[in-house]
A = this chain, B = another copy of it.
Amino acid sequence: MLGSLPSFARLEAELGKLPGIGGKTATRLAFHLLRTSESEVAALADALLEMKRNVRLCEKCFHVAEDRLCGICAAEQRDQRLLCVVEQPQDLLAIERSHSYPGLYHVLHGVLSPLDGIDPEDLKIPQLEQRLAVEPFDEVIIATNFSVEGEATALYLARLCQQRGVPASRLAHGIPSGSGLEYIDAGTVQHAVSGRRTL
């Protein structure tokens, strides 16, 4: 059946390359698109091409941008003396959604992972060193994830900041809002206890 449907099978194969989309989901999406109007499918295809044409990385912080600088680096009202280092643009967006951070960002596009052959030069770490040398930051907040690689990267970056004489900090590690202690893993509880604050 699908042997006689090369275009359909090709779309299924292309959709199946997307992360988190397995064979069955790809088939379901392809059938959905088959029922979708031609103009809507054309809109999706055009959005794909337009994004690829227009979106690039900010020259300064490596967040996604459609101009030379991203909206945050271009915004003069942001605190130019605060820098937050994140793994991915998605992490930056999560912090922005919290409306809790007024400063600038630096997106590493990954974490150090010597076993996978990912060294500082494979990330935007040389560019971070460059910024630390030129921009007068009062504090660098290291917001890599609390995974093994994220923690190791944070340590590496903390040493970099130390060498430059810039104070570095790490996001607080503890119990998330709305969680009951009984459902939280032991490692997080340990961090929450050792990081307790006086009231």
Contacts and interface: CB of A to CB of B under 8 A. Distances in A.
A186 interface: no
Given A45-B45, A47-B14, A49-B41, A66 B7 contact: yes
Chain copies in the assembled complex: 2
Contacts of A8: 51, 54-55, 64, 66
Interface stretch (A90-98, A125-133, A142-150): A90-98
Contact of A5 (B15, B65, B88): B65
Contacts of A25: 20
Nearest to A72: B1
A32 interface: yes
Interface residues of A, number: 58
A160 interface: no
A31 B89 contact: yes
A1 B42 contact: no
A47 B11 contact: yes
Given A10-B47, A34-B64, 19 more contacts: A1-B70, A4-B65, A4-B66, A4-B67, A4-B70, A4-B71, A4-B74, A5-B55, A7-B53, A7-B55, A10-B50, A11-B50, A11-B51, A18-B33, A28-B90, A31-B90, A38-B52, A45-B45, A48-B48
